[in-house]
Amino acid sequence: MLSHAPTTESARPAWWQDLQADEFAWQVPDDLNIARVCADDQDPAATALIVDTGSDVSHYTFGELRDLSRQFAAGLREAGIDVGDRIGVMVPQGLEVLTAHLGAYRAGVVTVPLSVKFGPSAVLHRLGDSGARLLVVDEQILPRIRDDIATLPDLETVVVVGAAGNGAREIAFADFADRPATTEADAPTTAESPAIIVYTSGTTGAAKGALHAHRVLPAHMPAVRTVFGNAPQPGDVFWTPADWAWIGGLYDVLFPALGMGCAVVATPDGFTPQRALEVMEAHRVTASFIPPTALKQMRATGVDREAASGLCVRALVSGGESLGEVLRAWVAETFHVDINEFYGQTEMNLTIGTDRTAWTAEPGSMGRAFPGFTVRILTEDDVVAEPGNVGEICVATGNPGQFLGYWNLPDRTQDKVHDGWIHTGDRGRADADGNIWYEGRADDVISSAGYRIGPGEIEECLITHPSVAMAAVIGVPDDLRGEAVHAFVVPSADAAPEQTLRVELQNHVKHHLAFYQYPRQITFVDELPTTVTGKILRRELRVLAAQS
């Protein structure tokens, strides 16, 4: 059965945050553990997890999650994993990845989520940097990293999902968790106790580990409840194709939904536009976070109003990259909902967003600061910028969503957080009403012939052309202008990537934007390089541009 969440603010747990209060005040209990609020405190008979592999569907209740996570916690204790130790988790969406996180949380152990898309170098860096003593890994992934992780001195145990162990330190997940479901392994934790190290997506260099405490969950509630239409609503079912290895998949959907007593759908087989429609219809998904890249793929493959007619989604959310007006209009036409957007970073997530059911966002804006967060645009002198002027988007310190620091990098933490502000490194502008517009990463701004050009506006213009499926823009060295605009374009399926199309796209930008913004170079590609979170890796595009 599905859980029926209380419909009045007074009947809801305080840590969900009261969004109807006259004056918002954070409610974060001192005694807090993510596993206990997501499993132990819920109706044990209600459905918590629906695992759809594409060929089989399994349902698990909150009571089963509670017991399984207790068994995993007992396995950690028997393996000698102590409070504060780190474990890696490299498993697709499903029961085991959730069990590992919840079991670790209740044991006071810190998890290090790893994308199933990672190669050996990325895995080695994260496990080695965090000093992880145990790794939970899927049997299909292990062969490609087994030889490499054997070199890690701190890694003592490898728990294999789906198969028996094949080495001296390998053990099958089922055997590892074959323990009594007692509370003996539960550790006392507070809101400040370390819970998870999420490594940044690395768009600006080597990935850094952002350490978060258990308070990261209540910190997400104002944004999650807002963008998902005053969630939870009776019968809500959540789903996201986002990897449960980054803060978006875990804390924009999975743990907040469970904490609200809602069912979550897991799809370990990965995303395709057709599969997304099948999953959302089969499980009557009402609330979904779909990253912009996935939405663009759905639009590019012809998903339309008729194809989505069998869905019952009431709330759609996106984030990570700006949607743009073209994609937003397509969502409204196709799914009959006004999609909300949110903005955040691994270090300080979900601070800005829209609430289109309550108010109309200014065109092109990211929205406004969510309750509980103070966001300002600062100049290079750390002075609040005048309305309309571009500066750095900064978030005031002192809120529960703030990370504890970069793992083993105190100097980098100091660079990120100082003088009462968390510095995002993103450029933006705000109006007098608090609406905020994203202007790109500080290092993405293109300086050309005296003009400062943000890539987002050009990308948005390019995808309005019917021959363009996706586009990304960077600046490249230019002897005359300092930098010139270089666009990488994924053509639509029926488009011919020829010189005539290049000229047509250049004229398209000249006509709709400004002459100085048109891409002087256009490279046609089959796909754009992205992080596992779907963000465009502009540094790789710069390498491609240099090679060409």
Please name the residue that has the structure tokens 């239409």.
229
- 185 and 77 Cβ atoms separated by less than 8 Å: yes
Average pLDDT value for residue range 520-546: 89
Cα-Cα-Cα-Cα dihedral sign, residues 64, 69, 74, 75: positive
Average pLDDT value for residue range 282-301: 93
Between the two ends of the chain, the Cα-to-Cα distance in Å is 57
Confidence at 412, pLDDT banded by 50, 70, 90: very high
Confidence at 4, pLDDT banded by 50, 70, 90: low
pLDDT tens for 17-30 read 999 899 999 999 99
Average pLDDT value for residue range 248-268: 97
Average pLDDT value for residue range 491-505: 93
Percent share of the chain, pLDDT over 70: 96
For the stretch 454-479, what's the b/e string if a residue is b when 16 or more beta carbons lie within 10 angstroms of its beta carbon?
A: bbbbbbbbbbebebbbbbbbbbbebe
pLDDT tens for 132-152 read 999 999 999 999 899 999 999
- 303 and 90 Cβ atoms separated by less than 8 Å: no
Domains of the chain as residue ranges with CATH: 60-213 (3.40.50.980), 451-547 (3.30.300.30)
pLDDT tens for 369-399 read 999 999 999 998 889 999 999 999 999 999 9
Confidence at 539, pLDDT banded by 50, 70, 90: confident
pLDDT at residue 47 above 50? yes
- 91 and 138 Cβ atoms separated by less than 8 Å: yes
Q: How far apart are CA 322 and CA 257, in angstroms?
A: 24
pLDDT at residue 115 above 50? yes
pLDDT at residue 442 above 70? yes
- 121 and 132 Cβ atoms separated by less than 8 Å: no
Q: How far apart are CA 119 and CA 454, in angstroms?
A: 32
DSSP secondary structure of 105-147:
HHTTPEEEE--TT--HHHHHHHHHHHT-SEEEEETTTHHHHHH
Nearest in space to 36 (alpha carbons), one of 76, 86, 83, 73? 73
- 77 and 86 Cβ atoms separated by less than 8 Å: no
pLDDT at residue 423 above 80? yes
Pairing outcome for strands 170-172 and 417-418: unpaired
Which of 246 and 443 is assigned the larger pLDDT?
246
- 190 and 524 Cβ atoms separated by less than 8 Å: no
Percent share of the chain, pLDDT over 90: 76
Torsion of CA 241, 247, 252, 257, to 10 degrees: 90
Average pLDDT value for residue range 307-324: 91
Lowest mean pLDDT among 302-306, 386-390, 456-460: 456-460
- Can you give the pLDDT at residue 440? 76
Confidence at 59, pLDDT banded by 50, 70, 90: very high
- 316 and 286 Cβ atoms separated by less than 8 Å: no
| H or E stretch at 406 | strand 405-406
- 466 and 458 Cβ atoms separated by less than 8 Å: no
Sorted by sequence, the CB contacts under 8 Å of residue 11 that are 6+ apart come out as none
Pairing outcome for strands 110-113 and 86-90: parallel
Nearest in space to 135 (alpha carbons), one of 105, 118, 114? 114
Q: How far apart are CA 509 and CA 82, in angstroms?
A: 58
Please name the residue that has the structure tokens 């992080």.
531
pLDDT tens for 321-334 read 778 888 999 999 99
- 19 and 225 Cβ atoms separated by less than 8 Å: yes
Q: How far apart are CA 34 and CA 38, in angstroms?
A: 6
- Helix H segments across 84-242? 95-106, 120-130, 142-149, 173-176, 216-227
- Can you give the pLDDT at residue 251? 97
Whether the bond between 232 and the residue before it is cis, its omega within 30 degrees of 0, is yes
Amino acid at 136: V
Which of 203 and 290 is assigned the larger pLDDT?
290
- Can you give the pLDDT at residue 82? 97
What's the mean pLDDT when you consider all of the chain? 92
Nearest in space to 251 (alpha carbons), one of 230, 272, 221, 279? 221
- 344 and 224 Cβ atoms separated by less than 8 Å: no
Average pLDDT value for residue range 227-236: 96
pLDDT at residue 202 above 70? no
Confidence at 203, pLDDT banded by 50, 70, 90: very low
Nearest in space to 110 (alpha carbons), one of 91, 94, 130? 130
- Can you give the pLDDT at residue 441? 74
Instruction: Give CA separation, 22 vs 19, 59, 371, 398, in Å.
Output: 9, 40, 11, 21
pLDDT at residue 482 above 90? no
Average pLDDT value for residue range 37-60: 97
Confidence at 452, pLDDT banded by 50, 70, 90: low
Q: How far apart are CA 397 and CA 400, in angstroms?
A: 9
| H or E stretch at 484 | strand 482-491
